[in-house]
Amino acid sequence: MTHSMTGFGKSEVTIGHLHVNIEIRSLNSKFLDLSLKIPTVFKEIDSSLRSIIKNELKRGKIELAIHYEKINPSSKITINKEQLKKYYNQLKEISTELNNQNDKDLMGYALKLPDVIQHQKETVDKQSNEILINAVKEASKDLNSFREKEGESLQKELLNYVNSILDNLTKINTFEKERLPKVKEKLLNSIEELNLKSQIDEKRLEEELIYYAEKLDLTEEKVRLKEHCSHFMEILPEKNSGKKLGFITQEMGREINTLGSKAHHLSIQKIVVEMKDELEKIKEQVLNIL
């Protein structure tokens, strides 16, 4: 099944007194471009999370964001009493030396000094890390489901574009046979205008027409373009087919360009322009395929 590179996935999990939210966003990219925004408390498993995303999501510009909220947060703040006493006594001593009668705010000043109020850091154990890793896997699966739904729409759209190219390819047949008689007519008119009819060998004229017939023949390009279109439709439903499809569209472009250079017919040129327009739409959408 075709998968888009664009997607969004999320999951939630409770770890101890922490409620953790995980979100993963993905955009198109030629390679895996991974960005992790995770709290310091989970930094220990940074490499494990990168490995999971690489295995699950393969390719794209991917952003993993993890944030948490405390459930019934208990006080994790402590006061360093010994340090506070030292600060207070020193401030009082200085105040006495300076004959400062207003020492009521000394305690307030002391509380603002470094290392008096201490915040206990959040910590998680190995089991909690495993729970988070599994939650990231769930978010990755959710994103892949999103990618698959987007891929279904992309597949239908791309098939329409390719079928349009094939339809235009058959329209060329109507005008292809008109070109050689016009070339012959043009040559004969030029000969008459230059009064060279008596000097022209009929056999030589036929050889020239055969040369033009071979030069203007579009059979090979039409066959190859049709084969490339068939190959594209065959590869399209496969998983992780984006890069292959990109290569196939390049080959399709070469054949369409050659058809245009050999057209020598206004109606065929118009058809080629329409085919190029459809091909550009294909190229644009292929960039979104995983």
pLDDT the model gives residue 69: 86
pLDDT the model gives residue 25: 96
H/E stretch holding 273 reads helix 266-286
Q: What is the mean pLDDT of each run of 10 residues along the chain (290 residues)?
A: 92 89 94 91 90 92 92 67 80 76 71 69 76 94 94 95 96 80 63 57 62 74 96 93 94 95 88 96 94
pLDDT the model gives residue 93: 80
Cα–Cα distances in Å, from 112 out to 102, 104, 109, 117? 18, 15, 5, 8
Query: Do residues 85 and 48 lie in contact, with contact meaning Cβ atoms separated by under 8 Å?
Result: no
pLDDT the model gives residue 173: 87
275 CB burial (10 A radius; 0-12, 13-18, 19+): buried
Class of domain 7-73+124-147: alpha beta
Instruction: Give SS3 for 236.
Output: coil
pLDDT the model gives residue 177: 76
Distance CA 144, CA 138 (A): 10
pLDDT the model gives residue 198: 55
